[in-house]
C-alpha cells in the first residue's frame, strides 16, 4: 500500500509558486520527508524562484514548508551514494547556485519557520532577508555529527548574517537553539506562537509591499553589496536601472534603429 502513496506524491509538484495580491508564496512540498532537499526539489525550487522573480506585481516572497517541518536540510539518502566528484559538483555547487538564486531575488523574502530548520534548512532560511519562527522551532547546523560540514553557505552566508561565534556554537559545538534563543542571537527576526507563523509573515509582507517597490529593490541591492552577498552584478544592475530611467537609453536605441547620431540630453 506504500507504493500508490509514493506514486501519488511523485505526481504532485515538489515546490509550488502561488500569488496572493502583492505576496508571492513559494512552498516546499515534501512533508513525508520534512521537506528534506534532494536534486529534484532543488530543481523545482530554482524554477519557482524564477517564476517569483518574473511575476508582475509581486513585491514580497514568502518561503514556506508544507507539513510539520520547514526543511530538514539535505536528504542524506540523496547524496550518501555519490562519488566525491559528484558530491562536490552536483550536490554542493548546484545547491549553492539555487540558494544564491534565493538570496539574490529582487523582492524581499521572508522564511516562514513553522517547523524545524536544521542543516541545509537553516542555510535555506539564511538566504532569505527575514525569518519568522514559531515558538516550538529548533535551529542548528548538525552536519559534523555525521562527519560532513555545512555545504550550502552555512559557514559563509550564515557567518555574515548571524556572526561567527553563533555559527561556531551550532557547527562546532553542536548547539541547537530554540526559537526564543535564536531571536536573542539574531538568527530569526520574530517569534510567534505555534500555528501563527504564516499569518505573521503575511502581515509583515503586506507592510513591506506598501513601500516604494523600486526603492525597496534598490535598498536590498545596496545592502547586499555592503554585506558582500553581491558586488559586480548588483552595482551594474543599480547603474543600469538608473540609466534606463533617463532619456539616454531611448535616445541611444532610437539612434541605433535609425542609424543616426544619438541626441543625448542631461536628463
Catalytic residues: 123, 143
Q: Are 221 and 236 in contact (CB under 8 A)?
A: no
Largest interatomic CA distance in the chain:
73
Q: Cβ contacts of residue 249 below 8 Å, gap of 6+?
A: 243
Instruction: Classify residue 44 as exposed, middle or buried by CB count within 10 Å of its CB (0-12, 13-18, 19+).
Output: buried
End-to-end CA distance of the chain: 69
DSSP 8-state code for residue 106: S
> If we measure between CA atoms, which residue out of 129, 143, 141 comes closest to residue 166?
141
**Exposed (0-12), middle (13-18) or buried (19+): which is 175, by Cβ within 10 Å?**
middle
Q: Which H or E run includes 236?
A: helix 232-244
Q: Are strands 15-20 and 23-28 parallel, antiparallel or unpaired?
A: antiparallel
Extract the C-alpha cell encoding 177: 537553539
Q: What gap in Å lies between CA 54 and CA 58, rounded to an integer?
A: 9
Residues 6+ apart with CB under 8 A from 198: 62, 64, 112, 114
> Which helix (H) or strand (E) element contains residue 132?
strand 130-134
Amino acid at each position: 500500500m506504500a507504493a500508490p502513496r509514493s506514486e501519488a506524491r511523485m505526481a504532485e509538484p515538489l515546490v509550488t509558486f502561488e500569488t496572493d495580491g502583492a505576496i508571492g508564496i513559494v512552498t516546499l512540498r515534501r512533508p513525508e520527508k520534512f521537506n528534506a532537499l534532494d536534486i529534484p526539489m532543488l530543481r523545482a525550487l530554482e524554477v519557482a524562484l524564477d517564476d517569483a522573480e518574473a511575476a508582475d506585481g509581486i513585491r514580497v516572497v514568502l518561503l514556506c514548508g508544507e507539513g510539520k517541518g520547514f526543511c530538514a536540510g539535505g536528504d542524506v539518502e540523496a547524496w550518501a551514494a555519490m562519488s566525491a566528484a559528484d558530491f562536490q559538483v552536483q550536490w554542493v555547487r548546484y545547491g549553492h547556485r539555487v540558494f544564491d538564486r534565493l538570496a539574490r531575488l529582487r523582492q524581499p523574502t521572508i522564511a516562514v519557520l513553522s517547523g524545524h530548520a536544521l542543516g541545509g534548512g537553516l542555510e535555506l532560511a539564511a538566504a532569505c532577508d527575514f525569518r519568522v519562527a514559531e515558538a516550538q522551532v529548533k535551529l542548528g547546523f548538525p552536519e559534523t555529527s555525521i562527519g560532513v560540514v555545512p555545504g550550502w553557505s552555512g559557514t559563509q552566508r550564515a557567518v555574515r548574517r548571524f556572526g561567527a561565534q553563533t555559527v561556531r556554537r551550532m557547527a562546532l559545538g553542536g548547539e541547537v537553539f530554540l526559537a526564543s534563543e535564536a531571536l536573542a542571537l539574531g538568527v530569526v527576526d520574530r517569534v510567534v506562537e505555534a500555528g501563527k507563523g504564516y499569518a505573521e509573515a503575511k502581515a509583515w509582507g503586506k507592510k513591506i509591499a506598501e513601500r516604494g517597490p523600486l526603492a525597496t529593490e534598490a535598498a536590498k541591492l545596496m545592502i547586499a553589496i555592503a554585506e558582500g552577498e553581491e558586488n559586480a552584478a548588483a552595482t551594474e544592475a543599480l547603474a543600469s536601472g538608473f540609466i534606463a530611467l533617463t532619456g539616454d537609453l531611448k535616445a541611444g536605441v532610437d539612434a541605433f534603429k535609425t542609424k543616426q547620431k544619438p541626441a543625448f540630453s542631461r536628463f
